[in-house]
Copies of this chain bind each other. A is one copy, B any other.
Amino acid sequence: MSLVKPTHAGYFFGQSIITLAARLRAGSVTSVELTQAALDSIERLNPVLNAFVHVDAAVALAQARKADALFAQGQDLGPLQGMPIAVKDNIDTFDYITTYGSAHFDRFKPSHDALCVQRVREAGAVIIGKTLTHEFAYGPTGDRSLQGAARNPWDARCITGGSSAGSAAAVASGMVPLALGTDTGGSIRIPAALCGTVGFKPSFASVPLDGVFPLASSLDHVGPIANHVEDARLLFEVLAGRACQPAATPRALRVGWITCASFGPVDAELHQQVYQAAQQLFGEALQETDALQKIAAGMKDTLQTLQRAEAFAVHAERMRDAPHKFDQEVRERLEVSSEVRGWQYIRAQASQAQYKAAMARLFEDYDLLVSPTVPITATQVNARQVRVGEQDIDVRAAVLSHTSAWNLTGLPSISLPVGHVRGMPVGLQVIGAAGADDHLLQVMSQLFVPITGGG
């Protein structure tokens, strides 16, 4: 596989924040210069990609000057200091309008930062703007929001995936080296895979959700999008408010490749590409497992029941008082969601606990599970059917099919860019045991060298 660049690439394409942090400390670049490079890249690329929905150069440059002033005083807050970062627009920021992708909040200015934003700020990062979210994060395509559709850097006719649409497009295109996303059924990993970057959904509740607009409270996660696993790991440390624990003495990994049919149909060429990447990464350690085949459908139903009931609980008054302010597709999903019965929700909670227990047992046999992140490449904006093999399948169901089980069970999982199929990026998903975020990130940081990365 050759090094390729997306049609639309900015200053930070493929850049590692480790390199950038070293350059900042060596004085060969300033935070103001990096911030200006991000602003220039956004100015050039955003009219096509629609990744950012609010950018304020003055606000960003003021933060950059503050970071540079700290460097000048010899103060070092760690690897994020002076680094431009994008924040998904369903995460509150006191200094940027925060719309949640919805007409209901078209002029909303939060009074406080979300706790995760506060932590990033305290680490010295420069919040350069807010990125497009699928309306209320309720959709995996990233093409329905107050601000329209985000566009894929590798082919602007195509979706980014979502709901962290703009954050993935912003990093994948090199507008910024880092971004925050949220993930309730795959919303970090899906656009990371479809845009060709790294997206990490941590263990449930490892990053606080205060100030993040809820989609479904038992499934919501905040996490990093970056060019490199190590960058994602450094941002995760800041988000989680703790340093990663050193990995235990390494021993032979046991890696389970999830039998592809388990979660639904997979594009054949994509399957081959991702499987080869997994073989290159894990070699002999990789073994097929069909342990999920029997429970995959139940997991999907359970997640859907939880997500629907919890999502409608967030929006009931808006659905009653101003339904016209919702995007039609989101409104229709919410109408269906209102129908879930209380007793079904209670059963789903019980099932969720059982699936978590089943995964704990499965991870006695494996250290990691792997699968394609998304079984198809990015489809055209607004397309809702796609042909996979001989089947016409629903785009939304397909893109969610391999990721949502790890929201239900709360396990850490990361999507890695492992090349291209028919010119579009594809992702390998690697899943760790509950709470084993540090191990997953450290192992994959050592093993994985981005195939498409610059650096």
Residues on A facing B (Cβ under 8 Å): 305, 308-310, 312-313, 316, 337-347
Interface of A is mostly: helix
The 10 closest A-B pairs by CB, nearest first: A309-B342, A342-B345, A340-B342, A313-B343, A312-B343, A313-B346, A309-B343, A342-B342, A345-B345, A313-B347
Task: For A309, list chain B residues within 8 Å (CB).
Answer: 341-343, 345-346
Q: Are B343 and A341 in contact (CB-based, < 8 A)?
A: no
Offer 19 A-B interface pairs, CB within 8 angstroms, sorted by A. A305-B342, A308-B342, A309-B345, A309-B346, A310-B343, A312-B341, A313-B342, A313-B347, A316-B343, A316-B347, A337-B343, A338-B341, A338-B343, A339-B341, A340-B342, A340-B343, A342-B342, A342-B344, A342-B345
Cα of A347 to Cα of B309 in the assembled complex, Å: 10
Task: For A312, list chain B residues within 8 Å (CB).
Answer: 341-343
Closest chain B residue, CB of each to CB of A348: B342
Task: For A338, list chain B residues within 8 Å (CB).
Answer: 341, 343
Task: For A308, list chain B residues within 8 Å (CB).
Answer: 342
Task: For A305, list chain B residues within 8 Å (CB).
Answer: 342
Chain B nearest Cβ from A143, distance in angstroms: 26
Cα of A339 to Cα of B344 in the assembled complex, Å: 10
Chain B nearest Cβ from A283, distance in angstroms: 46
Task: For A339, list chain B residues within 8 Å (CB).
Answer: 341
Task: For A346, list chain B residues within 8 Å (CB).
Answer: 309-310, 313, 345
Closest chain B residue, CB of each to CB of A342: B309
Chain B nearest Cβ from A436, distance in angstroms: 30
Task: For A316, list chain B residues within 8 Å (CB).
Answer: 343, 347
Cα of A308 to Cα of B316 in the assembled complex, Å: 20
Closest chain B residue, CB of each to CB of A217: B346
Cα of A316 to Cα of B312 in the assembled complex, Å: 23
Closest chain B residue, CB of each to CB of A350: B313
- Besides A313-B344, A341-B342, 7 other A-B contacts (C-beta < 8 A): A305-B342, A309-B343, A312-B341, A313-B346, A337-B343, A342-B342, A342-B344
Cα of A346 to Cα of B345 in the assembled complex, Å: 9
Closest chain B residue, CB of each to CB of A347: B313
